[in-house]
Structure 1
Amino acid sequence: MFFKEVNEIDLGETTIANIFIDIFMPMANGLYVKVYLLGYRQACDPNSNPKFDNNSIAKNLNIPLSDVIEAWKFWERKDIIKMHKNENLNDFDYSIEFMDLKRFYMDNMYINTKSIKSNSDSIVSVSENPSIRKMFNSINKIVGRYLEPGEKISLLDIINKYNMEPDMIVYAYEYVKDKHKSSRPVKYIESLIRGWYDSNLYTPQDVKDSFAIRSERYMVYKTIFNELGFYRPPSKPEERIMDTWFDKYNMDIEVILSACSKSKNISNPSVSYINGVIEKWNNKNIKTLDDIKLLEEDSKRKPQVNQKSNKNNSSNTTSVKTRFHNVNQTFTKYTPEELEKLLQESQKDKFK
C-alpha cells in the first residue's frame, strides 16, 4: 500500500506521464533518468531560468557534460526527445525538445488487446503503422508462411509488454531460424525477448555485441582451462570467479596464465587456487608480466638481505662491551712474553 500526506503548502510540482514511469524508466540506468527528469522539470516550468542548460544539469548532478549528452542520445534513440544543435562551435550545446508521450504511445505502442481479439479488423488498423506492417512481412518470409491473427496479436502484445521495437521481434525470428534451422512458436520468441530485456539488450546491435562478448569470453575460459590441464567446460561459479579477474581486477590474460603456471607443481590445481594467487597480486597492484618479474626479483633479494642482517646481528653481538670484553681488550696490549712475566710476578705475590 502506498499513499501520500496531504499538505496545502504549494512548492510547485512537475507532472510526468505514467508512460515514462511504467515503460521507459525501467529500461534506463539511474543517471539517464535523472537527466531526463531534471531537463523535463525545466521544460515544464514557465518561470525556469532561461540560462539553465546542459552544463547546469552536469553541475547539479556532479557528472561530466559528456554523460549528460549520452543520456539525451539514449532518450532520442527511444524517440521521446529530439536534440537540436545550437548554432555555435560547442559540440555539447544542444536544445532538448520533449515529445508528447501520450501521442507517442498512441502512435507506436498502444494496442487494445481485447478489441483485437474480438475484431480481426483491428489488426488491419494496427498494421497501418509502417514499422508494424514491415515486421509482419519480414516474419512471413522468415517462417515461410503467413502469420495467424492470433500470432500477430501475441507479437503486438510482446512489443507492448517489453517496449521492444519491431526490428527486435524480426531479429528474434532470424536468430531462432539460424540457430534451430526451423521456426518456433510465439511463446518461444517471447521467452527470448524477455531474456534480452532482462539483460538490458534493447536493439539487435545490443544482442550482437553481447554474443560477441560472450563468444570472446568463452575462448578466454577455454584458454585458461587448457593451461590448467582441464578438458571440460567451466561451471557457473568458476565462470563468475574468472569474470572477476577481468571485470573487477582488470587483469591481462597473460598475467592470469602466469598465475596458472604456478599450479604445475600442485597435485590438484583448481580455479580457487589460482584465484588466491590473483587476489594476492591484485592487492599488491600486480597488473602486468613486468610487475610479476619485479615481485619475483624482490622476493629473491629478501633472503640475501636477511642473511646479511643475521651476520650483522652476529657481529653486533660479539661487539657488545662487557667486563670480559674490557679484559680481553687490556691483554691485547701486551706481547706473549710480557704476559708471561706479568703472570709470574702475580704468582710471586701470592706465596709471599
Structure 2
Amino acid sequence: MFYKEVNEIDLGETSIANIFIDIFMPMADGLYVKVYLLGYKSACDSSFNPKFDNNSIAKNLNVPLSDVISAWKFWEGKKIVKMHKNEGYDDFDFSIEFLDLKRIYTENISVNTKSIKSNSDSIVQVGENENIRKMFNSINQTVGRYLDQGEKLSILEMMNKYNMSSDMIMCAYEHVKAKTGSSKPVKYIEGIIRNWYDANLYTPEEVKDSFAVRSERYMLYKTIFNELGFSRQPSRAEKQLIDEWFDKFNMDIELILEACSKSKNVSNPSVSYINGIIKSWNTKNIRNLDDLKISEESQKPKETSPKHVSTSSTNGDTYKKTKFHNFNETFTQYTSEELDEIIEKSQKEKFR
C-alpha cells in the first residue's frame, strides 16, 4: 500500500502520463530516466529557466554532455521524442520535442503498446526463474550497466530461437568483453550465438575446447609463416590451403616445414608454391619425414660393380707389355727409406 501526505504548500508539480512509468521507464537505465524527466519538466513549465538546455542537464546530473545526448537518442529510438539539430557548429546542440504519449498509446493500443506491455509482464514472470535472474545480473556486471527491457526481451528471444542456455548467453557476453574490451549490442551477441549454433556448440565447455583447437591451429599458421619469412597474418584462402595439408592430407608439421624450406631459393615464395610440393607428396602417400626419406632413397640410381678391363684385344691377341706395366710391382719392392736414397742418388748423377 502506498499513499502520500496532504500538504497545501504549492511548490509546483509536473504531471507525466502513466504510460511512461508503466511501459517506457522500465526499458531504460536510471540516467536516461533522469534526463527525460528533467527535460520534460523544462518543457512543461513555462516559468522555468528558458536557457535550461542539455548542458544544464549534464551539470545538474554531474555527467558528460555526451551521456545526455545518448539518452535522447535512446528515447528517440523509442519514438517518444524527436531531436532537432540547432544551427551552429556544436554537434551536441539539440532541441528536444516531447511527443504526446497519450496519442502514441491511442494509435498503437491495438498493436505495439499491448505487445510491449505483455512483453514487460513476461519479463517479470521469467525473472522469477533463478537462472534467468542470475544471467541478467551477470550480464549487467559484464557490460557495466543495467540492461533495458528491450535488451532483455531480445536476449530471451535469442535463447528460444537458438535453444541456448543462460550459461551460453553469459559466455557470449564474457567472450565479447574479453575480445573487444567493450560491451556490444544484443545483435552483435546474437551473431556470436548464431556462429556457435552453426558449429554445434551448446555448452561453455564445448566453446572452450573449440577455442583451444583454434588457438593450436593459429600457432601452426604462425610457425609456417615464420619458416617462409612472412611477418603478416595468413589470408582466408591461405588458411584454407594450410588446413587441407593437416585435415585432408594428414601431413606432419615437420614435413610441411621441410616443404617450406625448399622455397628458400625462390624469389617470391608463396603458400601456393608450397601447396604444389605438398600435393606432389600426397600423391606419393608421403605423410612424414620418414616417408619422404624412403621415397628419396628409392629414387637414387643403384650402384653397379666396376667393369673388368680386359688386356686382350678384340681379336684375342695380348697387348705387348711396356715398362709401365710393372711400375706398381717394382715400386712396392722398396721401403720408403730406400726409395728416398734411390731418388737422391739419381739426382746427383743427373747434375754431375
Q: TM-score, normalised by structure 1?
A: 0.52
Distance of 2:182 and 2:127 partners within structure 1:
26
Q: In the TM superposition, what is the alpha-carbon distance from 1:154 to its structure 2 partner?
A: 0.6
Counterpart position of 2:233: 233
Determine the structure 2 residue equivalent to 1:164.
Answer: 164
Deviation at 1:128, TM superposition (A): 2.3
* Structure-2 residue corresponding to 1:200: 200
CA distance in 2, matches of 1:258, 1:137: 53
* Cα distance between partner residues in 2 of 1:264 and 1:141: 53
Aligned equivalents of 2:247, 2:154: Cα separation in 1: 38
TM-aligned CA deviation for residue 210 of structure 1 = 1.9
In structure 2, distance between residues paired with 1:199 and 1:236: 18
Aligned twin of 2:187: 187
1:345 is aligned to none
User: What residue identity is the alignment partner of 1:250?
Assistant: N
Q: What is residue 11 of structure 1 aligned with on the other side?
A: none
Stretches of structure 2 lacking an aligned partner (at least 5 in a row): 1-111, 308-312, 318-352
How far apart are the structure 2 equivalents of 1:219 and 1:168?
Answer: 27
Counterparts of residues 121-132 of structure 1 (less than 5 Å): 121-132=121-132
Tell me if the contact between 1:135 and 1:167 (Cα under 8 Å) persists in the aligned partners. yes
Do the aligned residues in 2 keep the contact of 1:115 with 1:122 (CA within 8 Å)? Answer: no
Whole-angstrom CA distance in 2 between matches of 1:115 and 1:243: 53
Per the alignment, residue 294 of structure 2 pairs with 294
Q: Matched residues in 1 for 2:270 and 2:175: separation?
A: 36
Distance in 1 (alpha carbons) for counterparts of 2:149 and 2:252: 53
Give the conservation status (yes or no) of the 8 Å contact 1:116–1:153: no
- Pairwise CA RMSD of aligned residues? 3.1
Aligned residue type for 1:287: R
One-letter amino acid of the counterpart of residue 238, structure 1: E
Q: What TM-score does the superposition give when structure 2 sets the normalisation length?
A: 0.52
Task: Please state how far the C-alpha of 1:199 moved relative to its aligned partner.
Answer: 2.4
Which has the higher relative contact order, 1 or 2, with Cα contacts under 8 A spaced 6 or more apart?
A: 2
1:117 aligns with 2:120: no
Q: 1:174 to 1:153 in 2, by over 3 A?
A: same
Retained in 2: the 8 A contact 1:135–1:166?
yes
Over residues 91-121 of structure 1, what are the superposed CA-to-partner deviations in whole Å (9 max), with x where a residue is unaligned? xxxxxxxxxxxxxxxxxxxxxx997633222
1:256 equivalenced with 2:256 (yes/no): yes
CA distance in 1, matches of 2:151, 2:116: 11
Distance 2:161 2:288 in 1: 47
CA shift, 1:201, in A, is 2.0
1:77-226 paired onto structure 2 within 5 Å:
117-119=116-118, 120-226=120-226
**Mind listing any 5+ residue stretches in structure 1 that lack a counterpart?**
1-112, 313-327, 334-352
Q: Is the Cα contact below 8 Å between 1:116 and 1:123 reproduced in 2?
A: no
Query: 1:243-263: per-residue Cα shift (whole Å, max 9, x none)?
Result: 000011111110100111112
1:176 and 1:184 in contact (8 A); partners too = yes
Aligned to 1:35: none
Aligned 8 A contact 1:142 1:174 in 2: yes
Q: Secondary structure at the match of 1:296?
A: helix
Distance 2:126 2:183 in 1: 24
Residue aligning to 1:278: 278
CA distance in structure 2 between the aligned counterparts of 1:180 and 1:280, rounded to whole angstroms? 42
Q: Distance in 1 between matches of 2:284 and 2:272?
A: 19
Question: Counterpart of 1:118 in structure 2: which amino acid?
Answer: K
Query: Partner of 1:59 in structure 2?
Result: none
Distance in 1, Cα, partners of 2:241 & 2:279: 11
> Residue 41 of structure 2 aligns with which residue?
none
* Percentage of pairs with the same residue: 63
Q: Name whichever structure is richer in helix by fraction.
A: 1
Structure showing greater Rg: 2
| SS, match of residue 251 in structure 2 | coil
Give, in whole Å, the separation in 1 of the partners of 2:205 and 2:245. Answer: 27
Q: CA deviation at 1:332?
A: 5.0
2: distance between equivalents of 1:190 and 1:248? Answer: 32
Quote the Cα distance in structure 1 between the aligned partners of 2:188 and 2:256. 39
Cα pair distance change 1:124/1:292, threshold 3 Å: same
Deviations 1:253-291 (A, max 9, x none): 101001111122222222112111111212222122122
Aligned length in residues: 204
Q: 1:134-164 deviations in whole A, cap 9, x for unaligned? A: 2112112222333211111110000011111
Query: Take 2:234 and 2:169, find their aligned partners in 1: how far apart are those partners?
Result: 32
Matches within 5 A, 1:36-115: none
Taking the aligned partners of 2:146 and 2:232, their CA distance within structure 1 comes to: 44
SS at match of 1:263: coil
Change (3 A) 1:283 1:166: same
